[in-house]
Amino acid sequence: MIILKYLIKKILKFQILILLILFCVFLSQKLVRILSASIEYAIPKKLILSLLFFSIPEILKLLLPLSLFLSIFLVLQNMQENNEIIAIHTCGIGYTIFLKIILFFNLLIMPFSWINTMWISPLAFDYKHRLLINNNLNTSFLNLIQGQFNIMKDNNLMLFSQKIVNKSLKNIFIVQFLNQKNIFHPIILVSESGNIYKNNMNMNYYINLKNGKLYYINTKINQFWITSFQKYHIELTQNFNDLYINNKEYSSLYSLWRASGLDSKIELHWRCIIVFSIFIMSILAITLGIHTTRSNRFLNLCIGLIFYLTFFFIQTFIYKNYQLFNKYSILYMWIINTCYMLFIFIFNYKNKKFICR
């Protein structure tokens, strides 16, 4: 019991330290991306901290398995170099003590990972996008860039503005193609200024132009009109909610369980695999850590990191490209898990004499 407490305490200290270091690194990387996006898409400064905060659950999803793997491996590696593992076996304590360590950390971390992956992370993802939608009426989702032509594909519309500040635009040039019986007639709008606003009735976004001219060309009858206007409004884009309402990353566990679509099933199994990876990585860390010597400590660490990266690379590839494998995607994801478990079992079986020594 004393040795078990000693091992748990030592591994826990290492994991907290490693988790904090990795968390700071990944959070800094996320902050750089958000700052870059804020410059490119004019995201308000007041949203930066909120976006960073709602990104934390997403970061923790993959950091928990990695931090547990590194902490267990490094502690066992250090104990192996100091002959502590040999001393433990000399006292008549077998491999079961390491199984108890796996059980303890999995019971400690997996419930939190389950809650974070199934509920907290999707909610944070949803809130993050709602923040952008509710507080950025112009450039965060419209991707409007001043001094460039911005194409709105859904509405056959092209917009140019020399200067964009918040919701206000200066020196505007718009080309829109009206579809009349499969014949497209161009409309050109030139305006000194304008502003973007939201219609609360239909939740669509419009641009209100001031002091400009309208040029209309009817290509069917070869006629051309020029009209001056003081005010003119035009629909800029459809409801932004359509951009993410079908994204399964925001869906709750209940909705994924009830859904019958392949994308919903893939998302559900992906979340389960993230949680299950904690168990796989903890066993892999103990397997490699126990068999580490001074001559192969760096080799075992590299092998472990390669196994970790390969695992998530393959799983992520299947998850993101499930259309390539169709209904077999879920099967392939769990085959990868099975292969890792078989590797760990075979490796331990071949070295059982060393373990029991």
Find the radius of gyration of the CA atoms of the chain. 29
Greater confidence, 190 or 204?
190
Q: How far is CA 57 from CA 84, 245, 257, in A?
A: 37, 20, 21
Residue ending a domain, among 240, 262, 296, is 240
User: Which residue did the predictor score with more confidence, 262 or 91?
Assistant: 262
CA 85 – CA 93 distance, rounded (Å):
10
Do 33 and 118 lie in a common domain? yes
> Is 220 buried (19+), middle (13-18) or exposed (0-12) by CB count in 10 A?
exposed
Question: Do 18 and 118 share a domain, yes or no?
Answer: yes
Domain tally for the chain? 2
Residues in the chain: 357
State the pLDDT at residue 245: 44
Both 12 and 97 in one domain: the answer is yes
Residue 231, domain extent: 144-240
Give strand ranges (E) for 166-292: 168-180, 183-199, 204-218, 223-237
The answer to whether residues 149 and 206 belong to one domain is yes
DSSP-based three-state secondary structure for 149: strand
pLDDT digits (tens, 9 = 90+) for 8-24: 888 899 999 999 999 99
Question: Span 300-322, mean pLDDT?
Answer: 89
**Poorest-confidence range of 124-128, 137-141, 153-157?**
137-141
The verdict on 117 and 6 lying in the same domain is yes
Residues 325/332, Cβ–Cβ less than 8 Å: yes
Long-range contacts of 66-70 (CB under 8 A, 24+ apart): 66/22, 66/281, 66/308, 67/15, 67/18, 67/19, 67/22, 68/15, 68/105, 68/109, 68/278, 68/281, 68/282, 68/285, 69/281, 69/282, 69/284, 69/285, 69/304, 69/308, 70/14, 70/15, 70/18, 70/285
Q: What is the pLDDT of residue 316?
A: 92
Where a domain ends, among 185, 206, 240?
A: 240
DSSP 7-46: HHHHHHHHHHHHHHHHHHHHHHHHHHHHHHHHHHHT--GG
Q: Which residue has the higher pLDDT, 136 or 45?
A: 45
Boundary of a domain, candidates 209, 240, 271: 240
| Shared-domain flag, residues 175 and 96 | no
Residue 334 pLDDT: 94
Q: What is the rounded distance in angstroms from the CA atom of residue 332 to the CA atom of residue 220?
A: 56
Residues 9 and 129 in one domain: yes
Same domain, 90 and 23: yes
Residues 118 and 215 occupy one common structural domain: no
Say yes or no: 163 and 231 in one domain. yes
To 10 degrees, the CA torsion angle through 248, 252, 256, 262?
10
Residues 229 and 195 in one domain: yes
13-72 pLDDT, tens digit each? 999 999 999 999 999 988 888 888 777 655 677 788 888 899 999 999 989 999 999 998
User: Do both 230 and 249 map to the same domain?
Assistant: no
Q: Given this model, what pLDDT does residue 56 score?
A: 92
- Tell me the three state secondary structure of residue 178: strand
pTM of model > 0.85: no
